[in-house]
Chain A
Amino acid sequence: MKGRPILGVVAGFLFGLLLGPTLWLWGVIELASPLMWILPIVGIVLGLLMAAWAPFGMDSTDEPADEPAVDTAPPARSDALSETAPEAPPTSGPDSKDESSS
């Protein structure tokens, strides 16, 4: 699974568990409705489907193709560095010298 199945199961169960009483409080269903226990099961299924589908976040195919095959650094750290590291300014050269003198 590309997503987060444990989060999906736990959050989906809680979502279904809370949705039943909420619908009852708003007068949509009865207190004795079977939806009270069906909705938590549906929530678990929904959470697992979301984890399997994983429509959010950057896809792994978006990464550049010329990346080295073996990367020893942790992926999170390398990603952060590549995104946040500023381009180094030129330290020497005739142009910079002229600007400082004038």
Chain B
Amino acid sequence: MRKRRRLSALSVLGGTVLLMVAASAAPASAEVIQGPCTGSATFDNGVTVTEATPLSQVVVIPPEGDVDYSGDTHLPPTDEEEPFSGSASIETALGVRAPIVNWPEPPGETKLTQSSGTYTYEAPAWVPRGTGAIKVTATHTQRGQVCTAAFNVALEGDPGTQAAVAVGLTAVAGAATLAAGTKRKGK
């Protein structure tokens, strides 16, 4: 009876581990998710990201600095102003997205179908440095055409005290989980 119970517990554990391994093996895919747009961004440390950069490549960028960007919607030129919109956001687990930047700011219209320039950015101090990949998704909508691209970034630096605190809290929770295996009196 006890052997059978242990066997079933082990099979549940084995199934869970298999699920974990299968979920962690994410396939490498191209950066552009939707649309014919092209673009590139070059950061202060010389790293360049284009629409061809695969998601499997983690781009390490400085926490603050300038980025030289260029983008082309490949739409035919027009003489009339037309509305456009776009945004970049961080994607977390379960598909939850946290917005980073929206454009145009302030809202407006444009005749341009391509653009380039320099954008100055600064990551907030609470964003940990030197972590695993952070998936950034950018979307641009113009004249009914939607372009979506994604790439994986990480900020330069060390995780520091945040990582140490996380390890400590995880160890406490792990010890409490092991403590659940303490026999109750009278059982």
User: Is A8 touching B177 in the complex (CB atoms < 8 A)?
Assistant: yes
User: Is A56 touching B183 in the complex (CB atoms < 8 A)?
Assistant: yes
Q: Mark A39-58, 1 if CB is under 8 A from B, else 0.
A: 10111011101111111111
Residues in A with CB closer than 8 Å to B83 are none
Question: If A14-B173, A30-B135 touch, does A53 touch B181 (CB 8 Å cutoff)?
Answer: yes
Check if B94 is an interface residue, CB within 8 A of chain A.
Answer: yes
**Cβ contact of A38, chosen from B20, B92, B166, B181, cutoff 8 A:** B20
User: Is B132 touching A50 in the complex (CB atoms < 8 A)?
Assistant: no
Residues in B with CB closer than 8 Å to A49 are 9, 12-13
Residues in B with CB closer than 8 Å to A25 are 128, 131-132, 159, 162-163, 166
Instruction: Give the CA-CA distance A1 to B9 in the complex, in Å.
Output: 13
User: Is B131 touching A3 in the complex (CB atoms < 8 A)?
Assistant: no
User: Is B179 touching A31 in the complex (CB atoms < 8 A)?
Assistant: no
Instruction: Give the CA-CA distance A62 to B5 in the complex, in Å.
Output: 22
Instruction: Give the CA-CA distance A17 to B90 in the complex, in Å.
Output: 20
Check if A81 is an interface residue, CB within 8 A of chain B.
Answer: no
Minimal beta-carbon separation of A48 from chain B (angstroms): 8
Candidate in B13, B170, B181 with the most chain A CB atoms within 10 angstroms: B181
Instruction: Give the CA-CA distance A86 to B123 in the complex, in Å.
Output: 67
Instruction: Give the CA-CA distance A11 to B169 in the complex, in Å.
Output: 11
Closest 9 CB pairs of A and B: A8-B180, A36-B93, A11-B176, A57-B183, A50-B181, A15-B173, A22-B166, A34-B23, A30-B133
User: Is A11 touching B16 in the complex (CB atoms < 8 A)?
Assistant: no
Check if B26 is an interface residue, CB within 8 A of chain A.
Answer: yes
Instruction: Give the CA-CA distance A51 to B177 in the complex, in Å.
Output: 9
Binding site for A on B (CB under 8 A): 5-6, 9, 12-13, 16, 19-20, 23-24, 26, 90-94, 128, 130-135, 152, 154, 159, 162-163, 166-167, 169-170, 173-174, 176-187
Question: If A8-B180, A46-B177, A60-B187 touch, does A30 touch B152 (CB 8 Å cutoff)?
Answer: yes
Instruction: Give the CA-CA distance A49 to B9 in the complex, in Å.
Output: 7
**Cβ contact of A18, chosen from B23, B90, B169, cutoff 8 A:** B169
Check if A76 is an interface residue, CB within 8 A of chain B.
Answer: yes
Instruction: Give the CA-CA distance A58 to B187 in the complex, in Å.
Output: 10
Minimal beta-carbon separation of B173 from chain A (angstroms): 4
Q: Mark A16-34, 1 if CB is under 8 A from B, else 0.
A: 0111111111111111111
